[in-house]
Every structure is written in C-alpha cells, then in structure tokens.
Copies of this chain bind each other. A is one copy, B any other.
Amino acid sequence: MMKKLGSLHENLDFKIYQELKSMILERKLKPGDKLYQDRIARDFGVSRTPLMCALKKLEQEKLIQAIPRRGFFVRKFSKEEIIHIFELREVLEGLAARRAAIHGTTVQLQKIKSFFKQFKNLYEEIDVKQYSDEDQSFHNYITQVGGLDLLQSIVRNYNIITFSYRLDFMEGLIRHPRETMGEHLAIIDAILSRQPEKAEEEMRNHLKWSRQRLAEDDKKTR
C-alpha cells in the first residue's frame, strides 16, 4: 500500500503566502500599499490567523515591511538595492555555473544547450519580451542544475532572479540582446565543455556588466 506524501497537504498560510507573493511580484499590490489584514482575510475567505503567518513570512523575505502596531506595507526597492542584488547574483550564479559544469548530467546539459535557440539568427527582429523570459528561465535553470539546496532556497526565498526582471524604475531589459546573446552562448559553451572555472568567470562577467550598466544609468538619472 502506497502512502500519500504528508507534504501534499498544504496549510492555509502557505496558500495565502503564495497568492500574496505573486500579487506583489505582478504589481497588483504596489510599493507603499498598506496590507489591511481584515480586508485581505475577507477577500480570501480565511481568518486573520493564517494570514498573519503568511505576512510574517513575506516580511522575512523583505517583500513587505512590518511596523509594529501599525501594519504591513509593500516594500519599494531602490535602484541601489537592485544593484546590490546583481552583486550577489555574480557570486551565487557564478557558483551555480561552476557546479553545473562539474555535476550537470548529460540530460541537463542538453537542455542548457537548447536555450536561446530561437534567437540565434541575429538578422531577425528579436521580440524583447520573449527574450527576457528566456533569459530568466535560463538563469533559473542554471541555478537549479548548480544544485546546492541552500543556494536554491536563498535565490528563491529572496526572489533574487525574479527582481532583476521586474524593475520599478525601468521597462524591459538592462542591455540589448545584441550585447548579451554572445555572453549567454559563452556560458553555455563553457558548461557544455565541462570547464568549471571558465563557466564561473563567464557568468560573473555577464552579470557584472549588467550591474555596471545599471550603475551608469543610475548616475545619469541623478
């Protein structure tokens, strides 16, 4: 007799947590918005107890800010913080890329090889939104293959990759595909040819250059 996995029952607070999280990431809840417990609990059709737990979790992830006896507010991310996130991505995804080159299975490497296929013809017009999505999937997958549980849970918990593609202060990509396409291919190539040091370096440079572009734009707009 096969036993059903206990982790399949999800508690209410986890469902609310996920729902609120995606509402924040999709900008249905905007930075500065106050989260009225009463109203949200009513909307979701639950009591304030599991909702409170969900809010505390979101606070820990820095998605919302709690002020005692005042309430919870959706956080705003400054450009400076986003630059810091990129600085972290450099080392974290660098590690993931290195490990992917060492530990990635043949099947995983095949999948890595398949990214950006539809954009390889540089003479065609590139759909920027589509490229951005592919970009995000690519970085997520490398992180997944890189495979340290702890690394993955940090990246997921703090929405480190997600935030890089949902910037408050700008639309679209930080750099044009013309610029980043080659870097992506270099990363893929290094992983496929099992060169861990090179994979780490290429990944780090790729993200460093994006960070530097962000920092430049930052200076200009002051």
Contacts and interface: CB of A to CB of B under 8 A. Distances in A.
Contacts of A154: 88, 154, 158
A52 B153 CA distance: 22
Oligomer copy total: 2
A7 interface: yes
A68 B148 contact: no
Contact of A94 (B57, B62, B91): B91
Contacts of A107: none
A95 B53 CA distance: 33
A150 B157 CA distance: 12
A39 interface: no
Nearest to A92: B91
B57 A148 contact: no
Size category, A interface: 35 or more
Contact of A57 (B60, B90, B95): B60
Interface in A147-166: 148-151, 153-154, 157-158
Given A60-B60, A69-B6, A91 B84 contact: no
A78 to B, nearest CB: 11
B67 A6 contact: yes
Given A95-B88, A148-B84, A9 B69 contact: yes
A6 B88 contact: no
A85 B149 CA distance: 10
Nearest to A83: B148
Contact of A56 (B53, B90, B92): B53
Interface of A: 6-7, 9-11, 13, 49, 52-53, 56-57, 60, 62, 67-70, 81, 84-85, 87-88, 90-92, 94-95, 148-151, 153-154, 157-158
15 contacts: A6-B67, A6-B69, A6-B70, A49-B52, A52-B53, A53-B53, A56-B57, A57-B60, A62-B150, A62-B153, A84-B148, A84-B149, A84-B150, A91-B94, A92-B92
Given A9-B69, A87-B95, A91-B94, 20 more contacts: A6-B68, A7-B67, A7-B68, A9-B68, A11-B68, A49-B49, A49-B52, A57-B60, A60-B60, A60-B157, A62-B153, A81-B149, A81-B150, A84-B149, A87-B148, A88-B148, A90-B95, A91-B91, A92-B92, A154-B158
